[in-house]
A = this chain, B = another copy of it.
Amino acid sequence: MVSIKDVARVAGVSDKTVSRVVNGEPNVTADTIEKVKLAIADLGYIPNLAARSIRSNRSYTIGIVTDFISTTPYSGDIVRGVQDWASANGRTVLLANTDGDPVREANVWRTFKAHRLDGVLHVAMYHRTVAPAAGEVSIPTVLVNSHAEDGYDYPSIEPDDFGGSYALTEHLIALGHRRIGYIRLNPLLLGANQRLDAFLAATRAAGIPEADLVIRLGMEGPIGREANYVYQQALEILAVPDRPTALVCGNDEMALQAYLAALSLGLRVPDNLTIVGFDDFRTVSLGLKPELTTAALPYYELGRQGADMLDQLIQGKGSKQERRVLACPVVVRGSSAAIR
């Protein structure tokens, strides 16, 4: 590999001068810069970041730890957000996955320290509280899609499930719906409860009696291996004479099953039934016909802004108490319509 010394020799200057040019330091003649740049181009010199890292104690690399990458289909969006930030700010991204296994998680932190990473984004693939391996973490860390359990002190960034669900429910109410069905996500998910709470709060605020609501559990059991009752529940909710005119699903994947159930009962969306989801998971929300009204999880922004928060933290500017919450805007598409 060509090193700074090779460049120095070819350019006829000292290695320190090359270093100056490479790092854009002042006090070098335009002439010298020219010579050096020529030599660099000639030799195809690329600075060795490892060497730089030893001296400066900074790696210009940040890590992403995920628990269940790819199990959640949108996970990629968070990662992409981080990458776009990194690529725009001259950082590199190291990726590690724990599969939710504490042993692997410990190893990941070891590796990250061995690489002397500047900071770490701890990304939860479903919205929840976390307690990163206590003593382990001596690297600046930001929690993404989660917030710290009580007693832990990490800045975090997460989606506003409550706000999104509230707005979505208001949308339905504005369309005239009062008899509304609701299929819940796995209660183990933080978002599941926030979404249901918001739904209840919004209907209550609109004066809709609880008796007009049909609330069912769509899935339960350990995350990733849960039992799924959504299709059956949707059939049951819809197969009665005074069925709801709108059906709210815990997320878009549930909405898919609701569509199938509704169609198989001969119902048309949105003419006979309004269906809404949550997440704006494109494969589903745009794949369904009519396309799905839903609240959009800001995954990309979670990643991008999370990286930015981390950078602040690394520079000693950020606050460990910051808890940023991003809106989940309602995206109105064809699956919701005014009641007849």
Identical copies in the complex: 2
Cα distance A289–B260 in the bound complex, in angstroms? 7
Q: Closest Cβ of chain B: how far from A263's Cβ, in Å?
A: 4
Instruction: Report if A47 contacts B (CB, 8 A).
Output: yes
Query: Is A268 an interface residue when CB atoms closer than 8 A count as contact?
Result: yes
Interface residues in A270-310 (C-beta closer than 8 Å to B) = 281, 283-284, 287-289
Please tell me if the beta carbons of A94 and B92 are within 8 angstroms of each other in the complex: yes
**A37 → B minimal CB distance (Å):** 15
Q: Is the CB of B76 within 8 A of A69?
A: yes
A77 to chain B: which residues have CB within 8 Å?
A: 70
* A87/B116 in contact, CB under 8 A: no
Q: Using a CB-CB cutoff of 8 Å, which residues 81-122 of chain A contact chain B?
A: 83-84, 87, 92-97, 104, 107, 110-111, 113-116
Report A43-60 CB contacts with B as 1/0, cut-off 8 Å: 000111111011001010
Partner of A46, one of B61, B87, B110, B289: B110
Stretch at the interface among A187-195, A251-259, A324-332: A251-259
Contact of A115 among B50, B74, B261 (CB under 8 A): B50
A333 close to B (CB within 8 Å): no
Q: Which residue of B lies closest to A252 (CB)?
A: B283
A146: min CB distance to chain B, Å: 18
Q: Which residues of B contact A114 (CB under 8 A)?
A: 46-49
A268 touching B259, Cβ below 8 Å: no
B94 contacts A94, C-beta separation under 8 Å:
yes
Q: How far is the CA of A315 from the CA of B268 in the complex (A)?
A: 60
Known: A50-B54, A92-B111. A80 touches B70 (CB 8 A): yes
The reply on A336 being an interface residue by CB < 8 A is no
Q: Which 3 A-B pairs have the closest CB atoms?
A: A70-B76, A263-B263, A50-B50
18 A–B contact pairs at CB < 8 A?
A47-B114, A48-B54, A49-B50, A50-B116, A51-B54, A54-B54, A61-B94, A69-B76, A69-B79, A70-B76, A87-B104, A93-B94, A256-B288, A257-B287, A257-B289, A260-B288, A264-B268, A281-B283
